[in-house]
Amino acid sequence: MKVRYAGESFYSGLGLTNGKVYVVDKKGPFYRIIDDSGEDYLYSKTNPAPLDGSSKGGY
């Protein structure tokens, strides 16, 4: 499945970028997304954002 991230970009070149399409795999309440770093990470389905609170995230 693919999704388009809409929200504040974070971790330039390593996180998620506003308007970019990502390949995802559903894992319970999370999406496993191959982000800009090329690695896969779990992100919230309702508000994908960094865990350190450095960005408000998106949807």
- DSSP letters, 1-59, are -EEE--B---TTTTS--TT-EEEEEEETTEEEEE-TTSSEEEEESS----TTSSS--B-
Q: In what order do the strands lie in the sheet with 2-4?
A: 2-4, 21-27, 30-34, 40-44
Neighbour-count burial of 41, counting CB atoms closer than 10 A to its CB (0-12 exposed, 13-18 middle, 19+ buried): middle
Instruction: Please write the tens of the pLDDT for every residue from 5-51.
Output: 998 898 888 889 999 999 998 878 889 999 999 999 888 888 777 76
Q: What is the C-alpha to C-alpha distance for residues 22 and 51, in angstroms, rounded to an integer?
A: 19
Predicted TM-score of the model (pTM): 0.75
